[in-house]
């Protein structure tokens, strides 16, 4: 009889710990979602479920994060890799151009504006090059 009481106590303790972990994760994740929404941003995972792009603070479309891009490339080789790599790099470079254009008009320091000019020039050239590759490779 005493062994049953100990067993029930251990099971109850484990169940309590499990419920506390689940509750804590829900609260923490819920607060992060609320904070992100409060900042005027949508979550990428929600947007992906609706086949939409995520949105930034000002409603502009936001593509994948660098981590998501890297994960997308994992396991791909050959043409599959090259096609996805160039698609993702074009998206990434376009994001850099968009940021640089903002810097050209909004930055205080001329060094930032000069860097922004260099970024637009280099990234535009690389996008053009990758699009030519895609065309010649039949992507």
pTM for the full predicted model: 0.55
Q: Stretch 88-115: mean pLDDT, rounded? A: 96
Percent of the chain with pLDDT over 70: 70
Cβ(54)–Cβ(47) below 8 Å:
yes
Which pLDDT belongs to residue 24? Answer: 63
In tens, the pLDDT along 33-60 reads 444 444 444 444 443 334 444 444 444 4
The residue with greater pLDDT, 21 or 86, is 86
Instruction: Give whole-number Cα distances, 133 to 2, 61, 79, 86, 88, in Å.
Output: 75, 26, 12, 9, 14
Which pLDDT belongs to residue 29? Answer: 53
């Amino acid at each position: 009889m005493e062994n049953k009481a100990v067993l029930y106590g251990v099971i109850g303790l484990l169940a309590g710990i499990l419920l506390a972990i689940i509750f804590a994760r829900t609260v923490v994740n819920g607060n992060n979602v609320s904070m992100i929404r409060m900042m005027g941003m949508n979550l990428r995972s929600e947007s992906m479920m609706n086949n939409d792009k995520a949105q930034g603070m000002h409603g502009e479309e936001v593509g994948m994060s660098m981590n998501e891009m890297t994960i997308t490339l994992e396991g791909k080789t050959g043409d599959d890799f090259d096609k996805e790599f160039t698609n993702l790099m074009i998206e990434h470079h376009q994001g850099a151009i968009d940021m640089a254009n903002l810097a050209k008009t909004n930055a205080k320091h001329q060094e930032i504006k000069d860097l922004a000019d260099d970024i637009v020039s280099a990234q535009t050239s690389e996008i053009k090059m990758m699009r030519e590759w895609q065309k010649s490779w039949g992507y």
